[in-house]
């Protein structure tokens, strides 16, 4: 898993509503706690416009993102994942 330290740090912010580019690693990290966009004309713009018009959804996503990071991505967990990954590489 390629966990984005930048994304996780942003999620810890109280005002953050996760919106990420749709990649396999981002899908894994975001889960149902944020929104993903693809490279299609106007998709990101429409997504952000929709969020601006739905403060309740933004608040719900903020809360879900904070909880997801707290539950699944402590820095200790991330470091353990990298340690396990590099040990597997070395053993291969």
Would you kindly state where each structural domain of the chain is located, as residue ranges? 5-91
The confidence score (pLDDT) of residue 68 equals 87
The confidence score (pLDDT) of residue 57 equals 93
The average pLDDT across 53-77 equals 87
pLDDT surpassing 70 at residue 72:
yes
d(CA 19, CA 49): 12
pLDDT surpassing 90 at residue 43:
yes
The confidence score (pLDDT) of residue 86 equals 93
The average pLDDT across 8-35 equals 80
pLDDT top residue among 84 and 14: 84
The average pLDDT across 26-54 equals 91
């Amino acid at each position: 898993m390629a966990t984005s330290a930048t994304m996780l740090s942003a999620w810890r912010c109280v005002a953050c509503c996760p919106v990420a580019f749709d990649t396999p690693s981002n899908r894994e990290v975001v889960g149902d706690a944020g929104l993903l966009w693809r490279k299609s004309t106007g998709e990101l713009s429409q997504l952000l416009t929709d969020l601006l018009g739905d403060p309740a959804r933004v608040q719900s996503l903020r809360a879900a993102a904070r909880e997801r990071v707290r539950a699944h991505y402590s820095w200790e967990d991330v470091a353990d994942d990298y340690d396990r990954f590099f040990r597997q590489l070395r053993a291969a």
